[in-house]
Amino acid sequence: MLVIKKLSKEIAKQQRDIQAVADIEAMIQLADAWNYETITDLLMQDSVKLLIVTSSASNIIGYCLYQVIFEQAEILRIGTHPDYQRQGIASQLLIALNNELKSNKVTSLLLEVREDNSAAIALYEQQGFTVIHRRKGYYQQPQQPAIDALIMQLSDS
Residue of 36, 84, 112, 138 marked catalytic: 112
| Residue 100 appears among annotated catalytic residues | no
Region of 58 (left: φ > 0; alpha: ψ -120 to 50; beta: rest) is left
| Residue 63 appears among annotated catalytic residues | no
Residue of 63, 66, 100, 124 marked catalytic: 124
Whether residue 98 contacts residue 68, with contact meaning beta carbons closer than 8 Å, is answered with: no
Active site residues: 112, 124
